[in-house]
Amino acid sequence: MGIKSFLMKKALQMKGVSGDQAETIVKQLNDNPQLAESLKSLEKNPEVKALFETIQKEIEEKKKGGMNEMFAAVSVMEKYKSQVAKYRDELAPLMQLMGK
């Protein structure tokens, strides 16, 4: 594993991604550089970026309120399901990366 891969894996783990999943993500990004470029375009889309910032903020609020992280995520994602579906094509690389 190169230094770039090691650093990406550690960064993902610091964001709460499990070690195995981080390793899988790093491998996929290394094997498919176009996937990484597609993900960069997501960050440049202000609507998608704002949507996911809102989702993340609401999940964090629910966790602070004592809710389990998984339940908080499911609850918030259900609330925004139609908005996430609206950006299905833009999110396809992310879903591919997550193995969904």
Q: Is the pTM of this model over 0.85?
A: no
- Tell me what pLDDT residue 80 has: 92
- Tell me what pLDDT residue 79 has: 94
**Is the per-residue pLDDT at 100 higher than 60?**
no
Each residue's pLDDT tens digit, 19-74: 788 888 888 888 887 877 777 777 788 898 899 889 989 999 999 999 988 898 89
Report the distance separating Cα 59 and Cα 36, nearest Å: 25
Q: Which runs of consecutive H residues, i.e. helices, occur in the chain? A: 3-14, 19-31, 33-44, 46-64, 69-79, 81-86, 88-98
Q: Which residues lie closer than 8 Å to 77 by C-beta, 6 or more apart? A: 55, 84
Report the distance separating Cα 49 and Cα 70, nearest Å: 21
- Tell me what pLDDT residue 92 has: 80
3-state secondary structure of 67: coil
Report the distance separating Cα 77 and Cα 42, nearest Å: 18
39: closest CA among 20, 52, 58? Answer: 52
